[in-house]
C-alpha cells in the first residue's frame, strides 16, 4: 500500500472524537488551558492532557507556558485551513437542513475562521467589496484594486505589512455555512483585526461567534459593507 504515513498519522489524530472537539474549539485562534478544553470536550483533565500531548507531538497544536498555566492553541493558520476544509467536506456529505439546525445561529451569522471573518458577515463583506470594485475575484484568490488599496489604507491597515507576511495575501476561503467564499489570508486577518480594534465587532467569550456592535453597524453601513436590518 502506498499510503502517505504523514497523512495517515494526521488523519488518526484528527479523527478521534475528543481530539476533534479540542481542535474545533481552538479554530477561533485563541488559546485555552487544558482544564478549559477538558470541560469543553466533556472528559477528565487527565484524559484531555493525554490527547493534548498527542496533538502537540503531532504538530497540530502548540503550547505556551504563562506562569503556572499552560495555554494551547493551533500550531498555525495552515492547521486552521485544513480543519475548515474538512468541515466543508462534512457539510457536503450531510443533508443541508440537518446541518443548519445542528449549528447555532450566532455561528452562522458571524464567526471567526481562525484569524479572519466567516459566516454571513464574512461572505457579505466580500460581496460588498466586489460590488464596490475594491477586490477582484480569481480562481483561488482575490486581488486588491487601487480603490481597494485606498479603502484599506483609510481604515489604517498596513497593506505592505500584510503582503510581507509569510502566507497567501488574499485567499479565497470556502465557507461551510454559506457555501460561498469569504476573505482569508493575510488581508482577511488584517481586516478582521482592525475591525475588532475599532470595536466595530466583538468576539463572544469562549466561542467563535462574532457580533456587530452598534458602533460597527453605523460605520459599516456608512461604508456600504453591510445592509441595515
Domains and CATH numbers, the chain: 5-75 (1.10.10.10), 78-222 (no CATH)
Q: What is the pTM of this model?
A: 0.76
- Can you state the angle between helices 45-57 and 34-41, rounded to 10 degrees? 110
Q: Alpha-carbon distance 100 to 81, whole Å?
A: 21
pLDDT band (50, 70, 90) for residue 77: confident
Arithmetic mean of pLDDT over the chain: 88
Q: How far apart are CA 221 and CA 136, in angstroms?
A: 21
Q: Which residue has the cell 453597524?
A: 217
pLDDT at residue 229, rounded to an integer: 55
- Which pLDDT belongs to residue 104? 66
- Spatial CA neighbour of 138 closest among 84, 78, 181: 181
Give pLDDT tens digits for 110-155: 999 889 999 999 999 999 999 999 999 999 999 999 999 999 999 9
Alpha helix segments (H runs only) across the chain? 5-15, 17-26, 34-41, 45-57, 77-93, 96-102, 105-109, 119-131, 146-154, 159-163, 185-197, 214-222
SS3 call for 168 = coil
Please write the tens of the pLDDT for every residue from 31-75: 999 999 999 999 999 999 999 999 999 999 999 988 888 999 999
**In a 3-state reduction of DSSP, which class is residue 26?**
helix
The neighbour count for residue 127, using CB atoms within 10 Å, is: 14
State the cell numbers at 94: 450531510
Q: Using 50, 70 and 90 to split pLDDT, how confident is the model at 2? A: low
- The residue with greater pLDDT, 223 or 89, is 223
Q: Exposure of 119 by Cβ count < 10 A (0-12 exposed, 13-18 middle, 19+ buried)?
A: buried
- State the Cα–Cα distance between residues 52 and 50, nearest whole angstrom: 6
Q: Is the model's pLDDT at 222 over the cut of 90?
A: yes
- On the question of pLDDT at 6 being above 70, the answer is yes
Q: Are 216 and 201 in contact (CB under 8 A)?
A: yes
Q: What is the pLDDT of residues 43-52, one digit of tens each?
A: 999 999 999 9
Please say if the pLDDT value at position 99 is more than 80: no
Sign of CA dihedral 98, 103, 109, 112: negative
Share of the chain above pLDDT 70, in %: 90
Amino acid at each position: 500500500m502506498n499510503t502517505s504515513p504523514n497523512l495517515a498519522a494526521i488523519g488518526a489524530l484528527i479523527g478521534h472524537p475528543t481530539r476533534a472537539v479540542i481542535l474545533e474549539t481552538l479554530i477561533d485562534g485563541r488559546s485555552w488551558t487544558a482544564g478549559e478544553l477538558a470541560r469543553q470536550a466533556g472528559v477528565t483533565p487527565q484524559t484531555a492532557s493525554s490527547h493534548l500531548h498527542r496533538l502537540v507531538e503531532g504538530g497540530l497544536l502548540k503550547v505556551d507556558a504563562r506562569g503556572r498555566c499552560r495555554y494551547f492553541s493551533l500550531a498555525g493558520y495552515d492547521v486552521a485551513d485544513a480543519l475548515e476544509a474538512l468541515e466543508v467536506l462534512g457539510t457536503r456529505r450531510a443533508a443541508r437542513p440537518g446541518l443548519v439546525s445542528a449549528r447555532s445561529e450566532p455561528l452562522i451569522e458571524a464567526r471567526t475562521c481562525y484569524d479572519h471573518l466567516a459566516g454571513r458577515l464574512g461572505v457579505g463583506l466580500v460581496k460588498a467589496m466586489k460590488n464596490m470594485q475594491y477586490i477582484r475575484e480569481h480562481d483561488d484568490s482575490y486581488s486588491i484594486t487601487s480603490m481597494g488599496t485606498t479603502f484599506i489604507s483609510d481604515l489604517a491597515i498596513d497593506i505592505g505589512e500584510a503582503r510581507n507576511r509569510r502566507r497567501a495575501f488574499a485567499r479565497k476561503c470556502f465557507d461551510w455555512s454559506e457555501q460561498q467564499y469569504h476573505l482569508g489570508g493575510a488581508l482577511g486577518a488584517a481586516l478582521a483585526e482592525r475591525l475588532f480594534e475599532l470595536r466595530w465587532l466583538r468576539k463572544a467569550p469562549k466561542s467563535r461567534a462574532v457580533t456587530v456592535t452598534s458602533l460597527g453597524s453605523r460605520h459599516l453601513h456608512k461604508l456600504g459593507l453591510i445592509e441595515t436590518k
